[in-house]
Amino acid sequence: MRRRSGLLFVAPALILFGVFVLYPMVTAFSYAFYHWQGTTRGGFAGFEHFTTLFTRAPFKTDMPRALLHNVLFFLGTMAFQNTIGLTVALMLHRRARTRRMLQTLYAMPYLVSPIVIGYLWTLLLSPTFGPVNQLLTKIGLESWALPWLGDPDTALWVVILVSVWQWIGFPVLLYGAALGGVPEELNEAARVDGASHRQAFFRITLPLLVPAIGTVSVLTFIFAMEAFALPYAFGGSTGNPAGATDFISLLFYRTAFDSGAANAIGTSSAMATLLFIIIFGGALAATAVLRRHERRITG
């Protein structure tokens, strides 16, 4: 293909991507370094907005709390995905007849909007009519019939567990695909040499799954740091009850669009920039580590 006609083919995608993705992404950073008076840009502010995030109320207390929730969300999701997800994938492996069917069933909740999932579980867990507490009472676990979402001690864990429930189909699928790529001969050779099933799994299969685990981890990290719709459905934009389900994206949304503060754009952009650095830095670091591991097992 000639270079000129090739560029004509690329042009529409490039213009669209440039105007609505690249340009906003790049300007998002510059916003954080200027003073703002409503929507009018003032003078250069340096790192002032970043220090505001850590020194002034309400950010001084809200930022670390929201960040902690994001991190707990990530760790909780990871813990379940890599134990339940991997176990389920292993059990599905070599079940040719039912695997596709079960994988499909597990992936169903993933399709549903996080907003729908949030409201659905709010209703299911409702203390007044919720079927969950009703069921717990029926089977004699009255003491477990708690106001799950009304109690600051349990609300965050509900959000995490519901999110795991929604997403588990994804690691099951990816780990399933990765297991399909582990050469059976390697495991057989190890077994012939006298390795137990357990040894063969931990010494051969698991190390070969590290790239897949890495991909799942990186995607989970990005997903957990950006969490917005699901906590919004559970606790509104303020992270009810009492900020127990507050996340960085919610705090960002409140600051940018709900606070009415004169310098809202500056402060919230600083927050977005910080979050971007965390997401991109974390993802790049993890990728670099995994690349090194990949070279070691393939090289």
Partner 1 sequence: MSALPGLRAGALTAGRRSRARSSQKPVGGVTASLLLWGYAAVALVPLLLMVASSFRSNADLISDPLGAPWPLSVASYKEAWTVGNFATYFANSLLVTCGAVALSTVVATMAAYALARGRSRIFRWLEALFLSGLMLPIHLAILPIFYLFDGMGLIDSRLGLVLMYGASGVPFSIFVLTTFFRQLPVELEEAAQLDGASTWQTFVRIMVPLVRPAVATVAVFRFVPIWNDFLFPLVLLRREEKYTLPVGLTTFFGENATNYSAVFAGLVITTVPLILLFLLATKQIVAGLTAGMTK
Shortest distance, CB of residue 296 to partner 1, whole angstroms? 13
The answer to whether 190 touches 199, Cβ cutoff 8 Å, is yes
Judged by CB, which is closer to partner 1: 130, or 243? 130
Q: Pick the piece of the chain touching partner 1 (CB under 8 A) from 2-10, 49-57, 65-73, 74-82.
A: 2-10
Q: Which residue has the tokens 């685990």?
A: 213
Residue 152 amino acid letter: P
Count the site residues for partner 1 by CB under 8 A: 102
The answer to whether 86 touches 241, Cβ cutoff 8 Å, is no
Among 52, 82, 154, 215, binds partner 1 (CB under 8 A): 215
Which 147-166 residues touch partner 1, going by CB under 8 A?
A: 165
Which 90-119 residues touch partner 1, going by CB under 8 A?
A: 90-96, 98, 100, 102-109, 111-116, 119
Which 260-299 residues touch partner 1, going by CB under 8 A?
A: 265, 268-269, 272, 275-276, 279-280, 283, 286-287, 290-291, 294
Shortest distance, CB of residue 3 to partner 1, whole angstroms? 5
Shortest distance, CB of residue 277 to partner 1, whole angstroms? 10
Which 46-85 residues touch partner 1, going by CB under 8 A?
A: none
Q: Is 3 in the site for partner 1 (CB under 8 A)?
A: yes
Q: Is 2 in the site for partner 1 (CB under 8 A)?
A: yes
Among 63, 71, 72, 124, binds partner 1 (CB under 8 A): 124
Angle, CA of 255, 258 and 261, to the nearest 5°: 60
Instruction: For 43, list phi and psi in degrees, rounded to 5.
Output: -75, 175
Among 81, 245, 249, 263, binds partner 1 (CB under 8 A): 249
Which 15-44 residues touch partner 1, going by CB under 8 A?
A: 16-17, 19-25, 27-28, 31, 39
Q: How far apart are CA 3 and CA 202, in angstroms?
A: 51
Alpha carbon 58 to its chain's center: 25
Among 78, 88, 190, 200, binds partner 1 (CB under 8 A): 88
Shortest distance, CB of residue 177 to partner 1, whole angstroms? 5
Judged by CB, which is closer to partner 1: 58, or 180? 180
Residue 294 to residues 181, 203, 205, 299, Cα–Cα distance (Å): 14, 15, 14, 8
Question: 10: which 2 tokens?
Answer: 């690329």
Among 135, 189, 242, 262, binds partner 1 (CB under 8 A): 135
Q: Pick the piece of the chain touching partner 1 (CB under 8 A) from 74-82, 150-158, 222-230, 239-247.
A: 222-230
Q: How far apart are CA 103 and CA 289, in angstroms?
A: 30
The answer to whether 245 touches 239, Cβ cutoff 8 Å, is yes
Judged by CB, which is closer to partner 1: 22, or 242? 22
Q: Where are the alpha helices (DSSP H) in the chain?
A: 3-17, 23-31, 48-55, 59-80, 86-92, 96-111, 114-124, 131-138, 152-167, 169-180, 184-192, 197-200, 206-226, 229-235, 248-253, 264-298
